[in-house]
Copies of this chain bind each other. A is one copy, B any other.
Amino acid sequence: MSLSPVRLRDVALAAGTSTKTASRVINGDARVATDTRHRVQEAVDQLGYQVDLMARSLRKGVDDTVGIVVPTIGDPFFAKAIEEIEQMALPRGINLLVASNSRDPKCERKVVDGLLARRVSGLIVTPFSADYSFLERVVTPVVFLDRHPNGMDVGAVIVDDEGGAYRIVMHLASFGHRRIALLTDDLTIETSRLRREGYVRAMLELDLPIEQEFQATWCVDAAQAEACTNDMLDLDHPPTAIFSARSETSLGVVRALHLRHRTDIAFASFGDFATADVLSPAITVIDHDPRTLARRAMEMLSERLDGAPASPVDTIVAVEVIARGSGELPALRAVS
């Protein structure tokens, strides 16, 4: 029935000690006589004993496990982040519980509660749009990744969304573009909102009009982004440059431009993607590496696990523009 019928008591019996002493050996407690330690070690090896982590966790009150919640696991950005965190956790003997909130606020709370009920020692969460204030009453350390939670005033590990967007729009404009379109995901998502703010700031500073027709602010996937791009290009006065605020939507834009053979439209993407440098023209992007973000988050969580208090200050990861060609296409002289 049992996974392995070998219990600590069996080890203790074989070594001729009490379970407590065997436990000490296993936990590397220094206060054990060398020869006793030896006998226990031998019994462990011979019997093939393995701790029952469930029992350990119950006794200790926490589980050596970190939970991570992201909107979608399949998104390459989050997949890479998960990978990085797993790599950092593994050597410390920490396991990773992965869950997605499925971009659904209802699901979101349930998923986090489920992880907490499992007594994870810590949590890394990319919030979607649920209210997270309930976490204030929870002692489990939580680090927020990529966005701030609603209803909670706490620091997060984020990238410079606003600044990056601002810079890339300025970049596009420096090639003569005045009609710059914006594609974003759902604006209730903080990253989308901030990137839009960067876009707006740049446009205002440049004294360029923010046309309603050039604002596609609800593209949740590549297909929608493609449709929106097509719509914009069909306008009487279409944009000459496009800024897509997310890798996923960028795929849609690229697809639309490609199918229409519009190699004259300038394009820049917030977020790199696999073949961005191989397309013709190669895609200019703002690189924001999920691994860096993840690493910072895990470091912060480790500190919290060691007792550091939650910081109200953000950790902001810088981003950089990678010019590859698509963002440097000049604006053609206006037709009108």
How many copies of the chain does the oligomer comprise?
Answer: 2
B58→A58 contact, CB < 8 A: yes
A61→B1 contact, CB < 8 A: yes
CB-contact partner of A274 in B52, B119, B138, B275, under 8 A: B275
The minimal Cβ–Cβ distance linking A235 to chain B, given in whole angstroms, is 23
The minimal Cβ–Cβ distance linking A107 to chain B, given in whole angstroms, is 8
The minimal Cβ–Cβ distance linking A243 to chain B, given in whole angstroms, is 19
Secondary structure class of chain A's binding surface, majority of residues: mixed
B51→A117 contact, CB < 8 A: yes
B52→A119 contact, CB < 8 A: yes
Q: Which residues of chain A in 1-29 are interfacial with respect to chain B, using CB atoms and an 8 Å cutoff?
A: 1-4
The residue in chain B whose Cβ has the minimal distance to the Cβ of A82 is B73
A83→B54 contact, CB < 8 A: no
Q: Given the complex of chains A and B, what is the CA–CA distance between A58 and B59 in angstroms? A: 10
Does A57 touch B at the CB level, under 8 Å?
yes
A1, A3, A114, A140: most-surrounded residue (chain B CB, <10 A): A3
Does A311 touch B at the CB level, under 8 Å?
no
A and B contact pairs by CB, cutoff 8 A, 23 listed? A2-B139, A3-B117, A3-B119, A4-B138, A50-B116, A51-B117, A53-B117, A53-B119, A58-B58, A73-B83, A73-B86, A76-B76, A76-B79, A86-B98, A86-B100, A90-B102, A93-B114, A98-B98, A254-B278, A255-B278, A274-B275, A275-B278, A280-B280
Chain A interface (Cβ < 8 Å from any Cβ of B): 1-4, 50-55, 57-58, 61, 63, 65, 72-76, 79-80, 82-83, 86-87, 90, 93, 95-100, 102, 107, 111, 113-119, 138-140, 251, 254-255, 258, 273-275, 277-280
